[in-house]
Structure formats: structure tokens, C-alpha cells
Chains A and B, each alone.
Chain A
Amino acid sequence: QKEVEQNSGPLSVPEGAIASLNCTYSDRGSQSFFWYRQYSGKSPELIMSIYSNGDKEDGRFTAQLNKASQYVSLLIRDSQPSDSATYLCAVNAGDSNYQLIWGAGTKLIIKP
């Protein structure tokens, strides 16, 4: 059974600090990794995608991938109260299909 694990939180971070969200996955054959943000009552929206080992930066967000350790993380710099949401990690299911395997999500709270 392919799995994606996340700490459910809540993770509480002061405004302006760096928020660090972590995710591990079980399938070594996974090739595509995604971070989504979900506000309460809304559908998920894509924040970052990463496909190769290393860091990928986009504004205040940095995704980090380590395939050897089967670990992907998301760093949010200069955290804002508007970043408070649930962050979902998703990994492709492999086998050349469209399905993503989802983590349960980490609830992030940015305290003013």
C-alpha cells in the first residue's frame, strides 16, 4: 500500500518566522511531488511542484526533495497570518497514471 505521511499538527509559528512542513512517502518509484494549501471550506490549491532532488524556490516558498530518504518538505519564509491553512503533500501513484496519493495534511497556524 503506497502511503504519504504528514504530521497532522497543528503547527504554530509566529508571524515572520519560517514554517517547516514535512512529508515522507513509501513508494521509491514516485517521481512527482506536490504541495497544496487548503483553506477551511475550500478545495485544495497547488502551491509547489518538485520533480528532482534538491531545492525549488518560488517567492516565499521553498520545496525540498530527497528521494534517497523519501522525504519532501515545504518551507514558508516570512510567514503571514494568511498562510494559516492545512497543507497537503501529494505524490504521484506511479505506474504511469493520473492518480495522486495524498497525505492527511498538516494544519499550520501563524500567530500574529
Chain B
Amino acid sequence: GAVVSQHPSRVICKSGTSVKIECRSLDFQATTMFWYRQFPKQSLMLMATSNEGSKATYEQGVEKDKFLINHASLTLSTLTVTSAHPEDSSFYICSASFRINTEAFFGQGTRLTVV
């Protein structure tokens, strides 16, 4: 199957700093990628849709100025958590599909801990 690679897998940062997470589609071009957040024992929550060459679409309640998304190429989307706070600690996961209405492939996820 298609491969989506996400880095880093774990990051610990100090409160107030910014963290960048990368999501790459390794063997296909992804015009659209998705960013999810998952708190312990809770379901996936879609944060935003990343669109190559245009602005991301954010879900209701997600602060676009805090969670900056850049999709500068067909194989790379980045999520930057700006001015991170402890409540931003979570599991962040990206996904991409190579065709419409087909399965999503997930990155390995990033465990963010803000101290």
C-alpha cells in the first residue's frame, strides 16, 4: 500500500515554543492531506484539511493561527503548533489518499508533550 511518513514520532517542548511536524507521501502525490488530533481514549478528531498550493481548511473550533499548516508541494504538508501550551499535548496524525473515495493512509503519528 501507499506510504505516508510522519516526523518526528515524539517531541517534548517547553511551553511557549513552536513545534513543526512533517507529513510526507513517499510514493504518490497527495493534493490533499488531513491532520487529526487524538486525546487519550478518545476518537480521531479532524483538525484541518491541507490543500497543496492553497490555504488549509480548518474545522470549527480549531485556531488557524495556532495550528499553521503549509502544503507547499504534492508530497509534503507541515503542521506547526505555535506557542504551545500543555493543553496542546496530544497525538497528532496525518493522512492522505491517492485517489478520491479510496482509503486513507496514515503517518505514524506524533506524540507531542508540552511541559
Q: Give the B-binding residues of A (Cβ under 8 A).
A: 31-32, 34, 41-46, 49, 88, 90, 92, 96-100, 102-105
Contacts and interface: CB of A to CB of B under 8 A. Distances in A.
B104 interface: yes
Contacts of B108: 42-43
B35 to A, nearest CB: 12
B102 interface: yes
A45 B109 CA distance: 12
B90 to A, nearest CB: 12
Q: Which of A43, A96, A97 has the most CB of B within 10 A?
A: A43
B109 A99 contact: no
7 contacts: A43-B6, A45-B106, A46-B104, A49-B103, A96-B101, A97-B100, A99-B46
A98 B97 contact: yes
A100 B34 CA distance: 10
Given A43-B93, A43-B108, A32 B43 contact: no
B43 A102 contact: yes
Interface of B: 1, 6, 31-32, 34, 43-44, 46, 49, 91, 93, 96-97, 100-109, 111
* Overall SS of chain B's interface: loop
Nearest to B102: A32
Contacts, number: 52
Given A42-B109, A46-B1, A99-B49, A88 B103 contact: no
Nearest to A93: B101
A49 B100 CA distance: 14
Contacts of A96: 100-101
B25 to A, nearest CB: 12
A32 B93 CA distance: 22
A97 B99 CA distance: 9
